[in-house]
Amino acid sequence: MLLVARVCHSDESAEVARRDADWLTRLQRSREALEWSDSLVRHDWRLQERPQDGRCRILDPTERVIREGTSEECRTAFARLDSQGAIPAVRGPAVLVLHGLGEGRASMRPLVEHLRRTLDATVLFFGYASTHADIETHGRSLGDVIAGLPKAARLSFVGHSLGNLVVRRWMTLADEDDLTRIDRMVMLGPPNQGSDLARRVAGVQFLAGLAEGAARDLVVDWHKVAPQLAVPPCPFGIVAGGRGDSTGYSPLLEGDDDAVVRVDETRLEGADDFLLLPVHHAAMLRDPEVQRATETFLKVGRFADAPGKGTAE
């Protein structure tokens, strides 16, 4: 009986150790996700660059680092893997999904998995080191990823929060050939008119001084950034979170809001559709109604008859 107890205790200890190791691995990856930006993406293979020092690495679909080095070394290794057939080709239309400020690709996984089940398209994550470089740098990284996709592929975008501003900055930088490839775009909780919450931070000198990368663009330099953001030259729809009243979820913000972005801040002239749903900013990507609305817009260019539909402007 004592032997059985010891074996059971040993098994339990091993399970606890395994869970701890898994948790530490997830924590490390989530921290690293804030430090690396994608330069090439093929399905779940990716070549990344670290904006702080220019180091590069290749990740396989399990997030395992299989090569580190200079940009030239990693691009050569990526091309070799591609020529050997290790990396699946991207065929047909592609949808690029972008996360928000202070997040990584993992935050978009619930939405990406839904879109991969329901769309006849290749759905790709685009990850970027949001707090370590500015919006323009992230827009150029997105351009590198797009340049690495087949030229014939139609492109659509789904952005959450800051991810929409990255796409809009890329659209300003892109050439006409790439712009004509764009099919549709869905904006989830986009701070298209800036952020009152960020402006409040800017009013606190100590906090404003801590803002780095794209956060600084929102907190300190919005007046410089806003004119550099294109209105999408394609059908685009906006999903905003809010209560549908004059108070919203945050007592710090005036009017309706999703606890981070005010509903009025999400609006952008030229939108083809607008949808207001009772969902918090951070919960959008897990919300079934948001997922279905995103899917529907990418398919037909409207949110159809989803509850919460409002005027497009």
What CATH number is attached to the domain comprising 216?
3.40.50.1820
**Domain match, 149 and 253 both:** yes
For 72, phi then psi, to 5°, come to -65, -45
Non-local (6+) Cβ contacts of 310 within 8 A are 274, 275, 276
178 domain residue, yes or no: yes
DSSP track, 40-109: EEETTEEEEE-TTT--EEEE-TT--EEEEE-HHHHHHHHHHHHHTT-SPPP-S-EEEEE--TT--GGGGH
**Domain match, 113 and 42 both:** no
8 domain residue, yes or no: no
For 228, phi then psi, to 5°, come to -95, 5
User: In the prediction, which pLDDT does 152 show?
Assistant: 75
**Domain match, 174 and 147 both:** yes
266 domain residue, yes or no: yes
- CB-CB contact of 237 with 310 (8 Å): no
Does the pTM exceed 0.75? yes
Q: Which residue type is seen at 203? A: G
**Domain match, 54 and 121 both:** no
284 exposure class (CB count in 10 Å sphere: 0-12, 13-18, 19+): buried
User: Which of 44, 71, 89 is the C-terminal boundary of a domain?
Assistant: 89
DSSP track, 138-207: HHHHHHHHHHTS-TT--EEEEEETHHHHHHHHHHHHS-HHHHTTEEEEEEES--BTB-HHHHHHHTSHHH
Q: What is the mean pLDDT of residues 173-199?
A: 92
**Domain match, 146 and 223 both:** yes
Q: Residue 25: is its pLDDT beyond 60?
A: no
**Domain match, 83 and 117 both:** no
CA distance 28 to 64: 12
The tally of CA atoms less than 13 A away on the side-chain side of residue 224 is 10
Q: Residue 295: is its pLDDT beyond 80?
A: yes
- Number of domains into which the chain is organized: 2
Q: What is the mean pLDDT of residues 200-204?
A: 54
**Domain match, 41 and 154 both:** no
- CB-CB contact of 154 with 298 (8 Å): no
Residue 130, token pair as written in the block: 């949001």
**Domain match, 75 and 141 both:** no
**Domain match, 119 and 236 both:** yes
For 151, phi then psi, to 5°, come to -65, -25
CA distance 216 to 127: 19
User: Which of 62, 89, 116 is the C-terminal boundary of a domain?
Assistant: 89
> In b/e form, how buried is each residue of 286-302, taking b as 16+ CB within 10 angstroms?
ebebbbebbbbbbeebb
**Domain match, 39 and 77 both:** yes
69 domain residue, yes or no: yes
User: Which of 56, 89, 122 is the C-terminal boundary of a domain?
Assistant: 89
**Domain match, 39 and 137 both:** no
For the ranges 7-16, 33-42, 258-267, the one whose mean pLDDT is highest = 258-267
Q: Which residue type is seen at 99? A: H
Helix (H, G, I), strand (E, B) or coil at 11: helix
Q: What percentage of the chain carries pLDDT values higher than 70? A: 80
**Domain match, 115 and 203 both:** yes
Q: What is the pLDDT of residues 108-158, one digit of tens each?
A: 999 999 999 999 999 999 999 988 888 999 999 999 999 999 887 899 999
- 101: containing domain: 92-310
Q: Is the C-alpha dihedral spanning 276, 277, 280, 286 positive or negative?
A: negative
49 domain residue, yes or no: yes
6 domain residue, yes or no: no
14 domain residue, yes or no: no
Q: Which residue has the tokens 């990584």?
A: 104
Helix (H, G, I), strand (E, B) or coil at 229: coil
2 domain residue, yes or no: no
Choose the weakest-confidence range: 6-10, 80-84, 263-267.
Answer: 6-10
